[in-house]
Structure 1
Amino acid sequence: MTDRRPLTIRLAAPRGFCAGVDRAIQIVEEALGKWGAPVYVRHEIVHNAHVVSRLEEMGAVFVEELDECPEDRPVIFSAHGVPKSVPAEAQRRNMIFVDATCPLVSKVHVEAERHHREGREIVLIGHAGHPEVIGTMGQLPNDTITLIETVEDVESFEPRDPSNVAFVTQTTLSVDDTADIVAALQARFPGIASPHKEDICYATTNRQDAVKVIGQGADLVLVIGAETSSNSKRLVEVALRAGASRSELIASAENINWDWFEGVDLLGLTAGASAPEDLVQGVINACRERFDVTLDSVETARETVTFKLPRILSEPEKA
């Protein structure tokens, strides 16, 4: 076919897997190698159905709660983090467990505990119901953290002592939205204690920065990621704010509605932090079947972060 019309794909870099997701997936793979199948995983290890189904084929069993796991098989806690009650219950049942919580989420947990120890009332900026938010709030006794989702929530928040407040944030939020909420908190509570280092993780920030570039002037931006993935949904919003005419979240090339491409000359393409690269290549290949594609890679940052695996995976088994 020679009459295919031209399409420029502006490909965001960085995109896709971050170090925390990479580590979490490796933990499941290493656990299967060490203990054999089945290995149980509490909640999706990362929010991506393709990743989950591949690990299921290898012998991982995904459950929502610990009481669905037998005591004689290892269990892994997802990258999003869990309330303290979960490992405590696993210990009580003498289970082998591996915590795959992203170290950057663990940093938020440590900060929240420090503020609580120092007597501050804590605000968590995040999305209700997200497993990371449930895990962070579950680090402390009930009613010691207040969830704030919007600038309006800031206005209605009434702390016991306005001079003794601290905030932490979910790691996968929109950088710009969060800045607005933080500004509102600081305006209402000038002495509010903030994180030593920003809680929104480097990968979330980097992917949003890249989308701000590829979104400028784009007729359409496709973000590969899951409906349950907070960081992926934020990328859709960021693309529209950056000037894209349209932005859509897709799970893979199979979910593309090709009607979206009517009048599209410039396509922006990226993937959320839990989406594997083969899905990106699948979209590029699907476009090549229909258009005369020119690929333009836009790199806004280079990522070199890696995280160590938990020691339990390399320790010899006790006799």
Structure 2
Amino acid sequence: MPSAKPALSVLLCAPRGFCAGVDRAIQIVELALQRYGAPVYVRHEIVHNKYVVESLKTKGAVFVEELDEIPETAQPVIFSAHGVPKSVPEAARYRSLFYLDATCPLVSKVHKEADVQFRRGREVVLIGHTGHPEVVGTMGQLPPGAVSLVETVEDARTFTPRDAQNLAWITQTTLSVDDTRDIVAVLQSRFPAIQPPHKDDICYATTNRQEAVKAVAHRVEAMIVVGAPNSSNSQRLREVAEREGCRRAVLLQRAGDIDWADFEGIATLGITAGASAPEVLVEEIIDSFATRFTVSVEEVRTAEETISFAVPRELRATAAARSAAE
């Protein structure tokens, strides 16, 4: 007889997976397809997840990086959840394109904060990652040179402002809470007059997912973060797991990416998912482990999430009709 499969205790982090901003962005694409038909054009990945993007492509979404890839059309153009520079809607209006903005409302809040501080005559320090679409969008809310990007504690130590008495800081919404705290501490130490945002810019979902990982990481021998390599919040979850003492923390897009050598001999495994990763991919990975282990699953919940965001006005009747039909 074949030997029994080894036992594996899976600690499933909660909250995990889709946040309200991601859920809203995906809904916007689906509702636009339902109301206006295909194609619907989407500038940049609507969220950073290949599975989500590919599934929307099969429904009629066409993804582009820039507006000049879109032909003359009356069909909707959707801006991704990460937000866009002001120049993008301006270009869309110039071409008379009909656009829908799927920017996460919590990212839009950071845009407004940047604008308020700029209007008050302050140089804006943005804590974030170079080249990330959210950072590009936030910096693009203000004229060139109005925003200074700080990525690390070392950047904060060497940053030279134009006027140390007129500074304000804001952050990307998907950063490590702990790393950001360290960077802010340096900025506040060097520039005591620097103004903070009115409310924490790191979003509730990023914070909650990191806290859940902290609760699990020290209890497991390995941790899987389900998410895309270009997903900032997913990368931060992997880093948090390592910082909290988990020696094997890996980022996987789906079950086919599992390197089984990484998990040989383990008895405990933590699993979480970035804010743009659907639950079906978490289930796929658990099912894959169940082919090699006798799996027991315990959910470790550290917060409840009840936040939801309304879709744009043009899609609300379609959304209501869909809800009524479900």
In structure 1, give the amino acid aligned to 2:225: V
* Aligned residue in 1 for 2:4: 3
Corresponding residue SS for 1:294: strand
TM-score (norm 1): 0.97
Corresponding residue SS for 2:291: helix
User: Please, which runs of 5 or more residues in structure 1 have no aligned partner?
Assistant: none
| C-alpha displacement of 1:20 | 0.2
Name the CA shift for 1:13/1:315 in 2 (closer, same or farther; >3 Å).
closer
In structure 2, distance between residues paired with 1:78 and 1:217: 36
* Aligned residue in 2 for 1:45: 46
- Aligned pairs (5 A) from 1:153-302: 153-302=155-304
Q: Which moved more, 1:260-269 or 1:118-127?
A: 260-269
In structure 2, distance between residues paired with 1:257 and 1:288: 15
Q: Do structure 1's residue 69 and structure 2's residue 74 form an aligned pair?
A: no
In structure 2, give the amino acid aligned to 1:141: P
* Aligned residue in 1 for 2:17: 16
Native 8 Å contact 1:218 1:243 kept in 2? no
In structure 2, give the amino acid aligned to 1:120: R
TM-score (norm 2): 0.95
* Aligned residue in 1 for 2:94: 92
Name the CA shift for 1:167/1:79 in 2 (closer, same or farther; >3 Å).
same
List 4+ stretches of structure 1 deviating above 6 A: none
Q: Pick the aligned partner of 1:141 from 133, 140, 143.
A: 143
| C-alpha displacement of 1:197 | 0.8
| C-alpha displacement of 1:217 | 3.0
Q: Do structure 1's residue 56 and structure 2's residue 65 form an aligned pair?
A: no
| C-alpha displacement of 1:263 | 2.2
Native 8 Å contact 1:235 1:272 kept in 2? yes
RMSD: 1.0
Native 8 Å contact 1:222 1:247 kept in 2? yes
Corresponding residue SS for 2:246: coil
| C-alpha displacement of 1:173 | 0.3
Q: Do structure 1's residue 109 and structure 2's residue 120 form an aligned pair?
A: no
Corresponding residue SS for 1:187: helix
Corresponding residue SS for 2:308: coil
Once the two structures are superposed, what CA deviation does each residue of 1:167-210 show, in whole Å capped at 9, x if it has no partner?
00000000000000000000001111001110000000000000
- Aligned pairs (5 A) from 1:75-86: 75-86=77-88
In structure 1, distance between residues paired with 2:39 and 2:164: 50
In structure 2, distance between residues paired with 1:68 and 1:135: 19
Corresponding residue SS for 2:16: coil
| C-alpha displacement of 1:315 | 6.8
In structure 2, distance between residues paired with 1:142 and 1:213: 42
Corresponding residue SS for 1:290: coil
| C-alpha displacement of 1:2 | 5.7
Q: Pick the aligned partner of 1:129 from 128, 131, 134.
A: 131
In structure 2, distance between residues paired with 1:43 and 1:177: 27
User: Please, which runs of 5 or more residues in structure 2 have no aligned partner?
Assistant: 319-326
In structure 1, distance between residues paired with 2:71 and 2:81: 21
In structure 1, distance between residues paired with 2:191 and 2:288: 51
Corresponding residue SS for 1:247: strand
* Aligned residue in 2 for 1:310: 312
Name the CA shift for 1:34/1:125 in 2 (closer, same or farther; >3 Å).
same
Count of aligned residue pairs for this structure pair: 316
In structure 1, distance between residues paired with 2:159 and 2:242: 30
